[in-house]
Amino acid sequence: MTSPADHFAALSLPRSPWLDAEMLKRRFHERSASAHPDAGGSVAAFAALNEAWQVLRDPATRLRHYLEWEHPESLPLAAATPADLGDLFMDVASARQEAQRLAGKLAAAASPLARSLLAGEKQTRLARLEALRERIQAPLETAHATLAAGERDPAQLAALLARMVFLGKWSAQLRESILALS
C-alpha cells in the first residue's frame, strides 16, 4: 500500500491538526500562482496543490490526513460513533424520516389547496430541522476549539475526528432535508 500524498509538504506547512485558515489560504494562493499552467507551471503540480488545498481547508479532512501521517494506528478509534452523540443521532434520524414523509405528501398533493393544508406541518418540520442543525453546531465548534487549543494526544485527536465526521455528516443531511422541503 502506498502512502497518501503529504498535503502539508505540498504547501510547505508543518504537519499539524490545526492550521490558521487565513495563513493556509494565503499559502495556497502564493503556491498556486507560480504552479498554475498559465504561469508556466505543470498541470500535475497545480493539481497536487489543489488537492492539498481541498484536504487541508476542512478541519475534519485535515485532521484525518494528519493522523494518517503521524498516528495511523489511531485511525480505527475514529470509526465509532461517539457514545454521547447517540441521542442526537436518533433525533436527527427521526427528524429526517418525518421530513421525508412530508416531502412525499407534498409531492402527492395534487392541488394548491392540498399543499396549503400541509403548510403548518411543513413549517413545524423545517423548524425542527433547523433547531437540530443549531444543536449540532455547539459540539462541532467545541471540537474545533479543542484542535485550535493544541490538542496532540492521538487518542483524543481520533475521538475529535469521529465527532467532527459524524456531526458534519448529520449537518449535511439536515441541510438536504431542509432543501427538500423548501
Model pLDDT, residue 75? 93
pLDDT at position 80: 85
Report the C-alpha gap between 52 and 34 in whole angstroms: 15
Q: Please give the biggest Cα pair distance in the chain.
A: 62
Residue type, 6: D
Under 8 Å between Cβ of 27 and 13:
yes
pLDDT along the chain (182 residues), means of 10: 81 95 95 91 93 97 96 92 93 98 96 96 98 96 94 94 96 97 92
Global pTM reads 0.86
Domain boundaries, the chain: 7-57, 80-181
Q: What is the pLDDT of residue 4?
A: 78
Q: What is the structure's pLDDT at 2?
A: 55
Contact between residue 129 and residue 174 where contact means Cβ atoms under 8 Å apart: yes
Instruction: Single out the residue of 2, 147, 140, 155 nearest to residue 63, CA to CA.
Output: 147
Q: Which residues of 10-44 are buried (b: 16+ CB within 10 A; e: fewer)?
A: bbebeebbbbeeeebeebbeebbeebbeeeebeee
Helix, strand, or coil (residue 16): coil
- pLDDT number for residue 69: 96
Predicted confidence at residue 1, as pLDDT, reads 45
Confidence (pLDDT) at 81:
86
